[in-house]
Chain A
């Protein structure tokens, strides 16, 4: 449902569109590719470490790798490095699990002043909550459909 715009509003919108800075999509994509790729290479190194020194297989190694990457992201977030990385990398730093960790940890640090129960406890998933909610709910629907389908066959 689109609201009818007054002529002045329409004019303003045109003006705004004319002056809106064009996003350098290609450059952003290149940066995201490189930053995201490098984070995954670090993840691959961590995976190899766990497979080599501990009893993990290629199938199970994702779990400890993710935890370790979140640990790295705590250090980088705490020292303010991840923010800078985010300015360069855009989605390259947001899409890997380190970006998820960054969202949780920066929210925790930011709301520390409001106390550890209401501040940290209440806000820790403020940014990352959407990802968990949508992940769990979509996984529930998908798994339910697939289970029913397998039973029916």
Chain B
């Protein structure tokens, strides 16, 4: 179990280092960097290479935004295997619904609770 924490730390940290290199060396804006990481995630998901990383590193692979792309692809592919082509659209948010709904719900609650500073 301790090994799982260790690999979560290392893999999660390394993915963030890739992001930092895109910031500093490639001089991309945060929005470009995150979009690029998500696109990489969906390509890796399509190739089936992200799932082994999740099995290996747990939250080290599911917490970085890369896993968003992977989950979108997997949701779409799951539905597509059941219902055919239209599943690509209907299954898109099947797995990753919680990230978006949580962001909207907590964003709204945050706006109700907090005031902006400055």
Does B bind A? yes
Interface residues of A (CB under 8 A from B): 23, 25, 28-29, 32-41, 43-48, 58, 61-67, 69-71, 73-74, 77-80, 89-92, 94-101, 104-105, 107-110, 112-113, 116, 120, 124, 127-128, 130-136, 138-140, 142-147, 150
Are B99's CB and A32's CB within 8 A?
no
**Closest chain A residue to B103 by CB distance?**
A104
Are B13's CB and A67's CB within 8 A?
no
**Cα–Cα, bound, A127→B35 (Å):** 11
Knowing A70-B99, A131-B38 are in contact, say whether A105-B107 is a contact too (CB < 8 A). yes
**Closest chain A residue to B94 by CB distance?**
A63
Are A144's CB and B88's CB within 8 A?
yes
- A71: which of B36, B64, B71, B102 is its contact (CB, 8 Å)? B102
Interface residues of B (CB under 8 A from A): 1, 4-5, 8-25, 30-39, 41-43, 45-46, 54-55, 57-60, 62-69, 71-73, 76-77, 80-81, 85, 87-89, 92, 95-104, 106-111, 113-117
Are A32's CB and B17's CB within 8 A?
yes
Are B9's CB and A105's CB within 8 A?
no
Are A131's CB and B68's CB within 8 A?
yes
What residues on B are CB-neighbors of A37 within 8 Å?
A: 8-10, 12-13, 16, 60
Interface of A is mostly: helix
**Cα–Cα, bound, A11→B65 (Å):** 41
Are A39's CB and B12's CB within 8 A?
yes
Are A40's CB and B98's CB within 8 A?
no
Are B99's CB and A66's CB within 8 A?
yes
Knowing A32-B17, A109-B110 are in contact, say whether A104-B104 is a contact too (CB < 8 A). yes
Closest-CB distance, B61 to chain A (whole angstroms): 8
Interface of B is mostly: helix
What residues on B are CB-neighbors of A80 within 8 Å?
A: 117
Closest-CB distance, A71 to chain B (whole angstroms): 6
**Closest chain A residue to B78 by CB distance?**
A143
Are A109's CB and B108's CB within 8 A?
no
What are 5 of the A-B contact pairs (CB < 8 Å)? A34-B13, A36-B19, A37-B8, A108-B107, A144-B88
Are A138's CB and B17's CB within 8 A?
no
- B106: which of A44, A105, A145 is its contact (CB, 8 Å)? A105
**Cα–Cα, bound, A25→B109 (Å):** 37
What residues on A are CB-neighbors of B98 within 8 Å?
A: 63-64, 66-67
Knowing A63-B96, A74-B110, A131-B65 are in contact, say whether A92-B13 is a contact too (CB < 8 A). yes
What residues on A are CB-neighbors of B59 within 8 Å?
A: 40-41, 43-44, 46-47, 62, 65
**Cα–Cα, bound, A40→B46 (Å):** 23
